[in-house]
Structure 1
Amino acid sequence: MTQRTTTARVGQRVTHRRYVPYSHAHYAGNLVDGAYSLAAFGDVATEMCIITDGDEGLFASYSDVQFTAPVRAGDVIEVSAEIVRVGTRSREMDFEVRVVARGNPSRGASAADPLDPAVVATTARGVVVVP
């Protein structure tokens, strides 16, 4: 097995954008549960580990998870991970979900508006480990 050197560095960032489908709404008002944000954090953390370490890595823990605004079906969200600490095998990251566009049914069934500024919906800190 070949030893691989990490390229992980503090400040390195990965960002995804995605549409939140109506099939993920679980509550009145087309609200999406908080687990949706946590799963999105897992996706950006996985990409970060692949880029920096050539391995998907494994999530070890979350801390300070904050749900500060709703995520709704029909939203477009931007999910980011930023490395804040690099250990020998661990990578500590700050995560954020921002709503960058939201449906606007008052203008029509398929109407939507970009949000400027984006609304921060979820934040967290997490630790992943890589082999």
Structure 2
Amino acid sequence: MTDHNGTTVTHRRYIPYSHAHYGGDLVDGAYGLGMFGDVATELCILTDGDEGLFASYTDVQFKAPVRAGDVVEATAVVVRTGTRSRTVEFTLTVVCRADPARGDSAATALAEPITATTATGTVVVP
């Protein structure tokens, strides 16, 4: 068995305004979970040559709002390697945010990213 602990994958994505579901241009929490599935898939491909299957989350915490116009970064890190399973820690951070007070298309790269969502999950590979 190869130890994959520490293997990391990060995806970055702009969130379009068409994904806002709530007042204040808020995006639902499932958006980040979808990104976690994407980084988990790439992680499984890198470590095991297979897309794997997402088995479960043991913890999901929504810590800060995600808004349309944000640029977010989803990161997955293997923290435990089993025979067929991998425990993965996920983090979704906001790295850029729209700044409508300065203009319709204004945005700011954040000096300090905002941690929006964290989770721990298990993936299974053949």
Q: CA RMSD in A?
A: 1.0
**1:92 partnered with 2:87:** yes
The CA distance in 2 between the partners of 1:93 and 1:125, in whole Å, is 6
- Unmatched runs of 5 consecutive residues or more in structure 2: none
Aligned to 2:14: 19
Check conservation: 1:8, 1:53, Cα contact below 8 A. Answer: no
Task: Using structure 1 for the length normalisation, give the TM-score.
Answer: 0.94
> How many pairs does the alignment contain?
126
Check conservation: 1:7, 1:53, Cα contact below 8 A. Answer: no
Q: Deviations along 1:24-58, whole A, 9 cap, x unmatched?
A: 11000000000001000000000000011111000
Task: Using structure 2 for the length normalisation, give the TM-score.
Answer: 0.97
Instruction: Give the 5 Å matches for 1:72-91.
Output: 72-91=67-86
Aligned to 1:32: 27
Aligned to 1:62: 57
Bigger mean CA offset, 20-29 vs 6-15? 6-15
Match of 2:119 among 107, 112, 124: 124
What SS is found at the alignment partner of 2:101? coil
Identity %: 67
Amino acid at match of 1:24: H
- Unmatched runs of 5 consecutive residues or more in structure 1: 1-5
